[in-house]
Chains A and B, each alone.
Chain A
Amino acid sequence: MLFALKAREPLTAVLAGFALTCLPAVLPINPASKPAGSATLSVLPRAQAQTNPASTASTAKVLRISAIPDQKPEKLNRLYGLVANELSKQLGVTVKYVPVTDYTAAVSAFRTGDLDLVWFGGLTGVQARLQKPGARVLAQRDIDASFHTIFIASTRSGLQPFNNVKGLTELKGKRFTFGSESSTSGRLMPQYFLGKAGVKLSDFAGGAPGFSGSHDATIALVQSGAYDAGAVNAQVWRSSLRDGKANRSKVIAIWKTPGYPDYHWIAQPNLDQRFGKGFTTKVQQAIVSWRPSDPEQKQILGLFGAQQFTDANAAAYGQIEQVGRQIGKIR
């Protein structure tokens, strides 16, 4: 018994010593944030939220841009990498693209102050502004003032193109998929027009529509025949046809909705405090100044599927807000 104890003791001591030596090497994970954390412990959460950006000096000078993940991540990475470079060049600050994983997460991250400038859809933009009073609508594409949804169908489904909203009744009993549940062109407006035609969500095969997650996914799923029909963003549909991702012998457009306002850039209310007076306007001017004559800006505009950006104002999105309230996405 005694012997066993003796043999064990030095080993334990060595182990304890080893663990202790490792400790300081890894313990100060973030020495800078420690005093801030302990100081604000007694303060209300709301107050912390306000002091937070100021206390972390390293993030204060980085403009974090993001976008709702409406397309494939590879494309988003390429596009917003270019946007970050261009803005960084024009504004003289570090610009970082922060990818988010879903539409709701983009809105939440904007509310929590983790994102400074976000390319939102119509609905998510309204949600973001309602959750962050004072946020500014900066710009939209030339195509966003009157944006469209395309209803697409697989050729196997037997669905035929039509010219009137009433034609949507043909979709009853079919397998139908939206894009993301918070998408304006992939869910909100198509659901609004389906409602106008008297089609309820429970009228689809299986008693519910699918939510593919993104416009690319909707096109792929309808083209494969997994769903008979779906609703996609007109610009993504056009670019899929152009680059051959959508095969006309397998998937066709059956109806184009009337226009409605969609995507836009929204900025945090506190950019001027953090980056200097007039910074928000500078960002707006930079975005609006992009022209196809500049090779890099041409690439960006091409990926956005637009000729140029224009100033946008919040009032234009009143219709989206109204529909959002009807459908229960805005309350």
Chain B
Amino acid sequence: MRPAPPLLVLLPALVLLPVLLMLPQLLHGGGWDLIGQFAWAALTPATDPVVVQSLLRGLGITAGMALLGWALSLLLGLGLGLLSSRLIWHTLSGAAAPAALIRRLLALPRSIHELIWGLLLLQLIGQRPAVAVVAIAIPYGALVARVVSDLLDALPTRGLEALRTAGAPATGALLTAIGPPLLPGVISYSGYRLECALRSATLLGVFGLGGLGNELLLTLQSLQFHELWSGLWLLLAVMLTLESTIALLRRRWSMPRRLGLAAAAVPVGSRGREILLALALLLPVLLLVAGALEVKPTDLLQWQPLPPLAPQGWATALALPWPSLIGSTLLLTLIAAGLAVGAAPLLLLAVAPWPWGRTLLQLLWAFGRLWPPPLTALLLLFVLQPGVIAAALALGFHNLGILGRLLLEGCEAAGPATEQALLCSGTTPRLALLYGRFSALARTYLAYGAYRSDVILRETVVVGLVAGSGLGSQLRESLSGFAWDQLAALLAVYALLTLVGEDLSDRGRQRLLGTA
């Protein structure tokens, strides 16, 4: 038996039931005053010039780190993506085997969250501005590499074959036949990565790698909500500006969407001159930013010795409560993923009858994307007991913001025809939305949800550090005890989990898309 597509979309929302049932027991209500103060402060942010100035400086650093990390990751990703493409290897050397090997190797840097990279590099290199940039660039680069090689290997090869049979040299043929069709996909994806980089840079700041994130954390910890909100509003403005600029450019340059059904009517990838101009402008901007942030590549060469290992270290590392750590990490992932994937369509349905409902939701989702999950977790701890649920709510809220926006974009791209027809024939707005738009999107949305669950598994470390659950909480303890052996074991387990998770989510995605 297979559920009907509209129901398929709502299936993950089932996880809401147990969470809602458990919530009353977990609520302690001690800090409702604080939540009230926090909400009130949203309307009355601090406007003290000293505060705003220091926030702006932090925001500049965060944005700069994001931009540099992103650019470096694109550079790395393009290079490594070409290196791990079967097509390239096949055309250049005749054998495709090295591509698979490189691809496997790249899974490792990808499986470790940028925060962990950052904390590790902090220990190895010390407090340098370059740390955050590289921390973003390593996992992002590996991710971009995967997407680039996937795109490359999915391209039709007829043009290339024709050029090769006509006697064109391998490199020339590749550039001519593969370059132009590859570019739109890469540019569209890199726009999305820039949005992610801004979020990552904020998060890295929360853990002390520079920028606005740390000020957000400190103001939250010392309950200075007015200052906190000044920072949040500023960050929101930057994030929304960035997102809408990227969306605008994507439309203008006719780049493919992330989650869309309708094939673009205009030929994909127009206005090459503008793209070229943007790229040319990017280079000096990047160098200026690097100069302003004092990011020096040479810093990366100055490695510091790690503190010595304890003699009995490995035994204590093995004695950690692994089953419960892993179990709670997986539980956290499942609940958070269910919440994020399930709540987005559910909320859209809930507000469907009201015209302003959707706008309010968009604002809520923007905040979800904006708030680093550890901050949300800290806020939740004012009224909730620490543990898996608090962590899952925080993580789910963040990813809901990302998934919700994608779903809405997908809905709008799908065109209003079916929904309008249903509405005109007297269906309620909710059902019209469900059957008119969601059912066609169901599989692509769930496939993206499967990918997102994989990301969520990687992100569990971020809330675990705060809400005291899963491998993340142990990671924090091991870090503060400088227990390298435990850290190494934790990282190995994390990498293993995310690799298995990635494989599962890939299979899930293929099944969802394959049977469509």
Q: Is the CB of B301 within 8 A of A331?
A: no
Q: Is the CB of A226 within 8 A of B381?
A: yes
| B126, B208, B303, B468: the one within 8 Å of A113 (CB) | B126
| B33, B304, B316: the one within 8 Å of A45 (CB) | B304
Q: Is the CB of B385 within 8 A of A206?
A: yes
Q: Is the CB of A107 within 8 A of B287?
A: no
| B208, B298, B382, B386: the one within 8 Å of A30 (CB) | B298
Check A175/B222 contact, CB under 8 A, given A15-B277, A102-B208, A328-B316: no
**Is the C-beta of A256 less than 8 angstroms from some C-beta in chain B?**
no
Contact digits for A234-267, partner B, Cβ 8 Å, 1 yes 0 no:
0000000000000000000000000000000000
In the bound complex, CA of A207 to CA of B26 (Å): 12
Check A206/B223 contact, CB under 8 A, given A23-B284, A224-B34, A331-B313: no
Closest to A130 in B: B307
**Is the C-beta of A321 less than 8 angstroms from some C-beta in chain B?**
no
Within 8 A of B (CB), among A83-105: 100-105
In the bound complex, CA of A175 to CA of B302 (Å): 44
Q: Is the CB of B222 within 8 A of A217?
A: yes
Q: Is the CB of A227 within 8 A of B30?
A: yes
**Is the C-beta of B483 less than 8 angstroms from some C-beta in chain A?**
yes
Q: Is the CB of B208 within 8 A of A16?
A: no
Q: Is the CB of A114 within 8 A of B482?
A: no
Residues in chain A near residue B301, CB distance under 8 A: 37, 40-41, 48
Within 8 A of A (CB), among B345-399: 381-383, 385-387
**Chain A interface category by residue count:** 35 or more
Residues in chain A near residue B479, CB distance under 8 A: 104
Q: Is the CB of B31 within 8 A of A49?
A: no
Distance between B482 CB and nearest chain A CB, rounded to angstroms: 6
Residues in chain B near residue A328, CB distance under 8 A: 316, 477, 481, 483
Residues in chain B near residue A182, CB distance under 8 A: 480
Q: Is the CB of B284 within 8 A of A30?
A: no
Q: Is the CB of B30 within 8 A of A18?
A: no
Q: Is the CB of B387 within 8 A of A100?
A: no
**Is the C-beta of A213 less than 8 angstroms from some C-beta in chain B?**
yes
In the bound complex, CA of A102 to CA of B217 (Å): 11
**Is the C-beta of B28 less than 8 angstroms from some C-beta in chain A?**
yes
Q: Is the CB of A181 within 8 A of B222?
A: no
In the bound complex, CA of A207 to CA of B291 (Å): 47
Check A29/B296 contact, CB under 8 A, given A105-B208, A112-B125, A213-B221: yes
| B222, B276, B381: the one within 8 Å of A216 (CB) | B222
**Is the C-beta of A210 less than 8 angstroms from some C-beta in chain B?**
yes
Residues in chain A near residue B276, CB distance under 8 A: 11-12, 15
Residues in chain B near residue A101, CB distance under 8 A: 207-208, 214
Contact digits for B187-218, partner A, Cβ 8 Å, 1 yes 0 no:
00000000000000000000110000010011
In the bound complex, CA of A48 to CA of B299 (Å): 11
Check A226/B480 contact, CB under 8 A, given A101-B208, A112-B125: no
Q: Is the CB of A226 within 8 A of B284?
A: no
Within 8 A of A (CB), among B439-490: 468-469, 473, 476-477, 479-483
Residues in chain A near residue B482, CB distance under 8 A: 104, 107, 127, 131, 331
Residues in chain A near residue B312, CB distance under 8 A: 331
**Is the C-beta of A208 less than 8 angstroms from some C-beta in chain B?**
yes
Within 8 A of B (CB), among A206-237: 206-214, 216-217, 220-221, 224-228
Check A226/B313 contact, CB under 8 A, given A22-B284, A27-B287, A37-B298: no
Residues in chain A near residue B290, CB distance under 8 A: 26, 29
Q: Is the CB of A26 within 8 A of B284?
A: yes
Q: Is the CB of B28 within 8 A of A331?
A: no
Q: Is the CB of A48 within 8 A of B280?
A: no
In the bound complex, CA of A129 to CA of B367 (Å): 43
Closest to B304 in A: A112
Distance between A242 CB and nearest chain B CB, rounded to angstroms: 18
Q: Is the CB of B307 within 8 A of A131?
A: yes
Within 8 A of A (CB), among B24-65: 26, 28, 30-31, 33-34
Q: Is the CB of A206 within 8 A of B480?
A: no
Contact digits for B258-292, partner A, Cβ 8 Å, 1 yes 0 no:
00000000000000110011001001100110110
**Is the C-beta of A73 less than 8 angstroms from some C-beta in chain B?**
yes
**Is the C-beta of A297 less than 8 angstroms from some C-beta in chain B?**
no
| A11, A15, A73, A175: the one within 8 Å of B30 (CB) | A175
Per the CB 8 Å criterion, the residue count for chain B at the interface is 59
Residues in chain A near residue B387, CB distance under 8 A: 206-208
Closest to A226 in B: B31
Q: Is the CB of A34 within 8 A of B468?
A: no
Distance between A126 CB and nearest chain B CB, rounded to angstroms: 11
What is the predominant secondary structure among interface residues of chain A facing chain B? helix
Q: Is the CB of B126 within 8 A of A181?
A: no
Distance between B291 CB and nearest chain A CB, rounded to angstroms: 5
| B31, B280, B313, B385: the one within 8 Å of A225 (CB) | B31
Distance between A184 CB and nearest chain B CB, rounded to angstroms: 12
In the bound complex, CA of A103 to CA of B482 (Å): 12
Within 8 A of B (CB), among A148-178: 154, 156, 175
In the bound complex, CA of A15 to CA of B483 (Å): 52
Q: Is the CB of A210 within 8 A of B284?
A: no
Residues in chain A near residue B71, CB distance under 8 A: none
Residues in chain A near residue B298, CB distance under 8 A: 30, 33-34, 36-37
Residues in chain A near residue B316, CB distance under 8 A: 328, 331
**Is the C-beta of B123 less than 8 angstroms from some C-beta in chain A?**
yes
**Is the C-beta of B122 less than 8 angstroms from some C-beta in chain A?**
yes
Distance between B283 CB and nearest chain A CB, rounded to angstroms: 5
Distance between B256 CB and nearest chain A CB, rounded to angstroms: 24
Residues in chain B near residue A49, CB distance under 8 A: 302-305
Residues in chain A near residue B176, CB distance under 8 A: none
**Is the C-beta of B310 less than 8 angstroms from some C-beta in chain A?**
yes
Residues in chain B near residue A221, CB distance under 8 A: 31, 223, 382
Q: Is the CB of B30 within 8 A of A30?
A: no
Residues in chain A near residue B296, CB distance under 8 A: 29-30, 33
Q: Is the CB of A181 within 8 A of B304?
A: no
In the bound complex, CA of A284 to CA of B416 (Å): 76
Residues in chain A near residue B157, CB distance under 8 A: none
Residues in chain B near residue A33, CB distance under 8 A: 296, 298
Distance between B306 CB and nearest chain A CB, rounded to angstroms: 9
**Is the C-beta of A282 less than 8 angstroms from some C-beta in chain B?**
no
Q: Is the CB of A225 within 8 A of B208?
A: no
| B30, B288, B310: the one within 8 Å of A224 (CB) | B30
| B33, B303, B307: the one within 8 Å of A111 (CB) | B307
A residues touching B (Cβ–Cβ < 8 Å)?
Answer: 8, 11-12, 15-16, 18-19, 22-23, 25-27, 29-30, 33-34, 36-37, 40-41, 45-46, 48-49, 52, 72-73, 100-105, 107-109, 111-114, 127, 130-131, 154, 156, 175, 181-182, 205-214, 216-217, 220-221, 224-228, 328-331
Other 16 A-B pairs with CB < 8 A, given A208-B468, A210-B381: A12-B276, A19-B283, A30-B298, A36-B298, A45-B304, A52-B302, A101-B207, A104-B482, A108-B123, A109-B127, A114-B127, A210-B468, A220-B222, A221-B382, A224-B34, A328-B477
14 contacts between A and B (CB under 8 A): A11-B276, A15-B276, A45-B302, A49-B303, A101-B214, A108-B122, A108-B126, A109-B127, A114-B126, A114-B127, A205-B28, A216-B221, A226-B381, A329-B480
